[in-house]
Amino acid sequence: MSEPILSLRGLHTDIAQYHILQGVDLEVPRGQVTMLLGRNGVGKTTTLKSIMGQWSAKSGQILYDGQDITRLPVSARARAGIGFVPEDMGIFRDLTVEENMVLGCTTGPLDPARKDWLLSAFPALGTFWHSEAGNLSGGQKQMLSIARAMVEERKLYLIDEPTKGLAPAIVSTMAQALRELKAQGASILLVEQNFSVARALGDSAAVMDDGRVIWTGEMAELAANKDLQERLMGLSMETH
């Protein structure tokens, strides 16, 4: 098997006086979707932000594509090919959809073929291309946030709860876009509470508790084992 695109080794991150990540070990295989699961507040978002550099790790190591990025600034991690879609969307409300997308481009102008693909994946963005992003619906803002992170090809995408609060029809649009992204060869680390999406998209899974990864394996294995789900996450995926 080839080297994982990302390995976390014993990662510790503090937020203020709180010791949030307490030795996270995690591998994200190349070209796969890895689900990061767990109860609320166990450190999933903090893990993504530590990988991106928005929180700096106190100790431990982040290896990305053969390089130690633990101490690099956010901008260098982005240039190295990591894209991050935060849960709070981070779009600019006063700018148009187009302007938001252009701001997502770091290496040159918006590539027309990439734009065509994104507008076919998320047609509403084409309809509102010249509208202010603040006027979009909640689901459309979420699509814009994801589409902006996909506007240039990245090797690794970190995506935090992309389907949160979305209507079922939009959830399947989002899931399809992520499937297409994977088909293009990207690696994805995905935090997702919607278990039917997790089951449908995930190749492997890592479950966190109390600032650590407590289980890793195939997503299909976790999805098939109710006792394991109850033990790791306190719930059964079938009921969610």
Ligand X SMILES: Nc1ncnc2c1ncn2[C@@H]1O[C@H](COP(=O)(O)OP(=O)(O)OP(=O)(O)O)[C@@H](O)[C@H]1O
Collapse the DSSP code of 43 into the 3-class scheme (helix H, G, I; strand E, B; otherwise coil) and give the result. Answer: coil
Nearer residue to ligand X within complex by CB, 43 or 104:
43
Least Å from the CB of residue 198 to ligand X: 13
Give backbone dihedrals phi and psi of 208, rounded to 5 degrees, phi first: -105, 150
Q: Which residues pair with 215 in a beta bridge?
A: 207
Least Å from the CB of residue 207 to ligand X: 11
Nearer residue to ligand X within complex by CB, 40 or 107:
40
Nearer residue to ligand X within complex by CB, 185 or 234:
234
Q: Which residues pair with 22 in a beta bridge?
A: 12
Least Å from the CB of residue 151 to ligand X: 25
Nearer residue to ligand X within complex by CB, 38 or 162:
38
Nearer residue to ligand X within complex by CB, 45 or 142:
45
Provide the sign of the torsion angle of the four alpha carbons 240, 48, 33, 97, taken in this order.
Answer: positive
- Residue indicated by tokens 């992204």: 181
Least Å from the CB of residue 231 to ligand X: 18
Least Å from the CB of residue 191 to ligand X: 6
- Residue indicated by tokens 């492997």: 204
* Length in residues, the chain: 240
Q: Which residues contact 146 (CB under 8 A, 6 or more apart)?
A: 85, 122, 159, 162, 174, 177
Catalog residues that contact ligand X under the rule CB under 6 A: 15-16, 18, 20, 38, 40-46
